[in-house]
Structure 1
Amino acid sequence: MINSYAFAFKAIPLARYCRLSDDDPMDSMGKMTVALLTVDEMAAADKAAIAAGVSGLTLMERAGRAVADAVTRRVRPGASVLVLCGPGNNGGDGFVAARILSERGLRINVALAGARSALKGDAAQMARLWPGAVETLDAVEPAAFDLIVDALFGAGLSRPLAGDVAGIVAAVNASDRPVIAVDVPSGLSGDTGVAAGPVVRAAETVTFFRLKPGHLLQPGRSLCGVVTLADIGITAEMAFGGGHQPKAFRNHPALWRDRWPVHGVDTHKYQRGSALVVAGGLSGVGAPRLGARAALRVGAGLVTIACHPEALAAHAARGPDAVMQRPISDAPALSALLADQRLSAVLAGPALGLDAGARDLVMTILRAHIPAVFDADALTLLAVRPASILRLCERRGAPCVLTPHEGEFARLFGGQAAIRDAPSKLERARRAAAFSGCIIVLKGPDTVIAHPDGTAAINTTGSAALATAGAGDVLGGLIAGLLAQGMPAFEAACAAVWLHGRAGDALGPGLIADDLPEAILPVMRSLTAGDASDLS
């Protein structure tokens, strides 16, 4: 069993730690390996480990050692390190790290928030084992040290930092010194990735057993820097053996690869799935073709663009030649196409238009019993009467995937206070999925994919290079192409988002949306070959 993981961008040559990049071979360990735990769930995992015979002091010793290892990797021999300790177990981890680093020959200063005599439990015991002096927060100058360890407050902090702690956080951020945070940067919520007040900006965060949503949701992801996930002796059997099933995951092939479409040698094109992309008129030929090309590249056996009759020649004149074209003049014509029993998925939205005719097309798709993806203009049309989404989706009898960015999401669900006021992006997507009965793909640098039953995944692939016109059209096509092949809607959305981001990572700055469908090919080859070195 792999002992430890880290979410980062480069490997480190140590047996007990490896980067939890999306390059790790996790599929054999099951989706629990990529589970995300809330603060409460992590506390329960700690208790389960203690109940199984692993003492709290042992857990704290191992956590502090993992922090000390992270420091050692970053500094030269004899460097000066400031360890900032808080009044709880996070501070206890800091005292352990300080002791170990001192034993390794580094020059260590420890500063404590509050009185040493006020420490309790395991943290008090570890503080007693620290042989050096303990200073107050206002007595240290962070800029005077080579590196700073932030062991002030962990993921469970429920109030903004204030007083001396807020002051030292400001000084740490102003010092421009590298910071290694314990669990999460102080001031950051482990559940939401949001800081209600001052927050430490870390170069690296060392956390334990499983990541938390706040490590992946923005702005938490940026504030954490490299995230190292360390093994401290809690096993999956301890944490999940009692039947507890986490509902949040890091989006990774381990979550959905067992549902990836596999086709036999005797498969024909309709068995590989037929997808329909519903387009508008001449003013928007490119966007639906991006979606159609992506659906083909991800494996759909046949993809057809249904467009206004005047746009038919324009579509026919553009590649790829494998994309079929059909004219539709109105909703009844579309309804006739949707009646084809061989059709297995529909994408609607890219350059569809916003007129009454386009709205009729969307309503026709909603009434059809075919898996559907709604993006772009289709979402704007649905937002005219958002309360009807729930009723229509419940009646349609087939999966429905909505792919809004934040602006579209606000138009669709902003009138629902329970959704609008949810504490995190993760929770907003979950509540929207439950309200609508749809799979929600809430796009952004931390895209969240949510199922109506509360299961959700946070994506970690992709970069700012994907913030370009047409990239979302490609994503819609990837989802539709996987739906057409019979992949369940949640898994299809997760896989498409992951592939889309991975292709963007491979292409890098300067990519245009036209590049993305072709960049999917090597990613899929690595995925289907099980080449762990290419997975993310």
Structure 2
Amino acid sequence: MAPRQILTVAETAQADKAAIAAGTPGTVLMERAGTAVADAICARFRPQRAIVACGPGNNGGDGYVVARLLKNRGWPVEVRALAPPATEDARAAATQWDGQVAPLEGDFAGALVVDALFGAGLARPLDGLSAAAAQKMSVASERVVAVDIPSGLPGDTGKPVGPCVSAGLTVTFHARKPAHVLEPGHGRCGEVIVADIGLGATSARLFENGPDLWLPRFPWPDASSHKHARGRLIVVSGEAWSTGAARLSARGALRIGAGLVTVFSPPDAVAANAAHLEAVMLRPFETDLELEQGAAHVDAAVIGPAAGVSETTLLNVLALARTGAALVLDADAITVFRDDPEELFSVLDRDDVLTPHPGEFERLFPGLLNGAPERITAARRAAERAGAVVLLKGSDTVIAAPDGRAAVNINGSPWLATAGSGDVLAGFIGGLVAQGMESFEAACAGAWIHAECAELHGPGLISEDLPGLAPTVLRRLYEER
């Protein structure tokens, strides 16, 4: 399957216009959209009293189709309209509704509610009757089905600017929009179904992060593979009292397939690391020059987990950058450049990966996150500025490449909110890069597998569990390839 695109409101509108120009009438597209919503409702709910709230535009037109189809399938349906239909296609759909149309007033208690007030292109806050209706609907959001997007939610940002419907199910068309995948919009949408209504191919550089995006290029071994061919990775350890993070990264890298993984350790931390390492190798080093020499022939390096925010870490990053190994920089290896981010950017290249959480992102790119309309734009701008792949962590993790490609993780797991999980993620990414996977795809794959591991375990997850869960996820991917 092709990677699943995420389209802006304008890109979706262009796809809609292209389909109409190619000979598919707007009324046919509206009928398909309404049918998709009605089918989704009937698949999840038994017939019951339903209220369809219709706005004046084409979103409301979709609502009239939903109302007619549900009624034809035996549902008791009410239509409540904010205003008369204002587009030709919506008027055509409304004329086929043979029931009454009441004003958008009263409560929605006890009914399944179809929110067809406004679509993703709404550029102003809800007010008056629509604002009141949004608040009343959201009292029981699990019984609200949104057509395209919950009303009041801007499609390109996912950031409500006023009252906004919360839905338990959202049926959108052709492709998700940013608001379906970015918080807080994602949380307002509930389950999201993407229905194919025949809009045809579209061009985009923003994708849902999933196996469709990277599985065809996953670095599986073959009969001729040996450990050296499967990638050589190093992980730089912190001092004696902070060695666990590097070992988590190293174990994650080994579990995801890297052939040889070595922890490079300061002398005073060698004993602590040696006591806990088995298949992961260990090598002491004292100076950045020794690190550079020891890493001269490796494929990738992870540095930052509990490395310490110190001159030593800064020099170690610069030393690794001189080796030609692809770098995965996390945590302290990011923060240590907060006073001079350009010093870091000057040594990075497109094969390197930065994995900041929002606080670390702010240290390297001051004001960029708050100044951007949403996280996707911020991550893209950061990747362009750094000249490297940027993975901006969060429940809606965004991965961006310097060339403008971006992906949003939609399988984020709350169980990852535990100390050390980011260290394992850095190891997953480093292990894939070491095996020759292109860095953007490796970051996407690592983030997706990381979240799948967390969901596989569920409550009680600690970061030490994550590497051991990877084989189950990898087995599933291997069978699906």
Please give the TM-score of this superposition, normalised by the length of structure 1.
0.87
Cα distance in 1 for partners of 2:159, 2:458 equals: 28
User: What percentage of aligned pairs have identical amino acids?
Assistant: 48
> How far did 1:96 drift?
0.8
Q: Which has the higher contact order (CA 8 A, sep 6+)?
A: 1
> How far did 1:177 drift?
6.4
Contact 1:148 1:177 in 2 (8 A): no
Query: Structure 2 vs 1, CA of residues 493 and 177 (structure 1 numbering), >3 Å: closer, same or farther?
Result: closer
Quote the residue 2:21 is aligned against: 51
Quote the residue 2:268 is aligned against: 310
Residues 273-304 of structure 1: CA deviation (Å, up to 9, x unaligned): 11010112101111100000111111111111
> How far did 1:359 drift?
1.9
> How far did 1:200 drift?
0.5
Count of residues paired in the alignment: 481
Amino acid at match of 1:311: A
Query: Structure 2 vs 1, CA of residues 217 and 392 (structure 1 numbering), >3 Å: closer, same or farther?
Result: same
Query: Structure 2 vs 1, CA of residues 289 and 75 (structure 1 numbering), >3 Å: closer, same or farther?
Result: closer
Query: Structure 2 vs 1, CA of residues 48 and 325 (structure 1 numbering), >3 Å: closer, same or farther?
Result: same
Cα distance in 2 for partners of 1:176, 1:38 equals: 25
> How far did 1:524 drift?
0.8
> How far did 1:415 drift?
4.3
- Secondary structure of the 1:132 match is coil
Query: Structure 2 vs 1, CA of residues 413 and 130 (structure 1 numbering), >3 Å: closer, same or farther?
Result: same
Quote the residue 1:14 is aligned against: none
Contact 1:66 1:230 in 2 (8 A): yes
Are residue 352 (structure 1) and residue 292 (structure 2) matched? no
- Secondary structure of the 1:458 match is strand
Contact 1:256 1:495 in 2 (8 A): yes
> How far did 1:325 drift?
1.1
> How far did 1:337 drift?
1.1
Are residue 328 (structure 1) and residue 285 (structure 2) matched? yes
> How far did 1:175 drift?
5.0
Quote the residue 1:130 is aligned against: 97
Cα distance in 2 for partners of 1:493, 1:333 equals: 28
Q: Structure 2: state its 5+ residue gaps.
A: none
Are residue 100 (structure 1) and residue 55 (structure 2) matched? no
Quote the residue 1:407 is aligned against: 359
Quote the residue 2:145 is aligned against: 180
Query: Structure 2 vs 1, CA of residues 502 and 126 (structure 1 numbering), >3 Å: closer, same or farther?
Result: same
Quote the residue 1:216 is aligned against: 181
- Secondary structure of the 2:372 match is coil
Are residue 85 (structure 1) and residue 37 (structure 2) matched? no
> How far did 1:181 drift?
0.2
- Secondary structure of the 1:142 match is coil
Quote the residue 1:141 is aligned against: 107
Quote the residue 1:154 is aligned against: 119
> How far did 1:270 drift?
1.4
Which of 218, 226, 249 is the aligned partner of 2:207? 249
- Secondary structure of the 1:148 match is strand
Are residue 502 (structure 1) and residue 459 (structure 2) matched? no
Are residue 388 (structure 1) and residue 339 (structure 2) matched? no
Quote the residue 2:219 is aligned against: 261
Contact 2:246 2:306 in 1 (8 A): yes
Query: Structure 2 vs 1, CA of residues 122 and 505 (structure 1 numbering), >3 Å: closer, same or farther?
Result: same
Amino acid at match of 1:479: I
> How far did 1:368 drift?
3.1
Quote the residue 1:239 is aligned against: 201
Contact 1:275 1:302 in 2 (8 A): yes
Cα distance in 2 for partners of 1:136, 1:445 equals: 39
Amino acid at match of 2:147: V
Which stretches of structure 1, 4 residues or longer, exceed 4 Å deviation after superposition? none
Residues 131-188 of structure 1: CA deviation (Å, up to 9, x unaligned): 22222223x3212x42111000111111111121111111112356610000000011
Quote the residue 1:441 is aligned against: 391
Contact 2:82 2:130 in 1 (8 A): yes
Cα distance in 1 for partners of 2:139, 2:338 equals: 44
Quote the residue 2:2 is aligned against: 30
Amino acid at match of 1:287: A
Residues 230-259 of structure 1: CA deviation (Å, up to 9, x unaligned): 22223xxx333xxxx311111111111122
Amino acid at match of 1:30: A
Cα distance in 2 for partners of 1:216, 1:336 equals: 44
Cα distance in 2 for partners of 1:526, 1:261 equals: 15
Residues 346-401 of structure 1: CA deviation (Å, up to 9, x unaligned): 0000110112222211222233321000001111112221233332225xxx6110
Quote the residue 1:282 is aligned against: 240
Contact 1:413 1:420 in 2 (8 A): no
Cα distance in 1 for partners of 2:113, 2:272 equals: 61
Cα distance in 2 for partners of 1:276, 1:176 equals: 48
